[in-house]
């Protein structure tokens, strides 16, 4: 499994109504599943990071996550999100390299 971990701080909400239906449809298309998409979070460690929304998605494979990001239907939505927010997106493999 792979996980997308996002920290998103919207600069405005103008893009939400266009972005969400398409993103939701495409997450499903590529076998993704939202595990968390919430403003209810707290930072326990490290330099202050005041992201408004934390999102965790589970993907069946790295390829599914990358295909989602590269889907032509998603490109304009990604542009809306990146222009309308401060966003960080990490793709994490679900394994323990230190075990």
Q: What is the pLDDT of residues 44-85, one digit of tens each?
A: 999 998 999 999 999 999 999 999 999 999 999 999 999 999
pLDDT at 41: 95
User: Would you say residue 20 lies in a domain?
Assistant: yes
pLDDT at 78: 96
Residue 21, C-beta contacts closer than 8 angstroms, at least 6 positions apart:
none
pLDDT at 58: 98
Q: What is the CATH number of the domain that holds 27?
A: 3.30.70.100
User: Would you say residue 98 lies in a domain?
Assistant: no
pLDDT at 82: 95
User: Would you say residue 62 lies in a domain?
Assistant: yes
pTM: predicted TM-score of the whole model, two decimal places:
0.92
- For residue 68, the enclosing domain spans 2-41+50-93
pLDDT in tens, 7-52: 999 999 999 999 999 999 999 999 999 999 999 999 999 999 899 9
User: Would you say residue 74 lies in a domain?
Assistant: yes
Residue 11, C-beta contacts closer than 8 angstroms, at least 6 positions apart:
84, 85, 86
User: Would you say residue 65 lies in a domain?
Assistant: yes
User: Would you say residue 17 lies in a domain?
Assistant: yes
Q: Give the number of domains in the chain.
A: 1
């Amino acid at each position: 499994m792979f996980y997308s971990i996002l920290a998103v701080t919207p600069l405005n909400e103008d893009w939400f109504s266009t972005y969400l239906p398409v993103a939701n449809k495409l997450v499903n298309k590529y076998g993704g599943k939202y595990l968390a998409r919430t403003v209810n979070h707290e930072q326990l460690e490290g330099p202050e990071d005041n992201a408004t929304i934390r999102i965790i998605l589970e993907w069946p494979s790295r390829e599914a996550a990358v295909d989602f990001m590269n889907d032509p239907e998603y490109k304009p939505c990604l542009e809306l999100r990146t222009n309308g927010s401060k966003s960080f997106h990490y793709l994490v493999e679900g394994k323990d390299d230190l075990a």
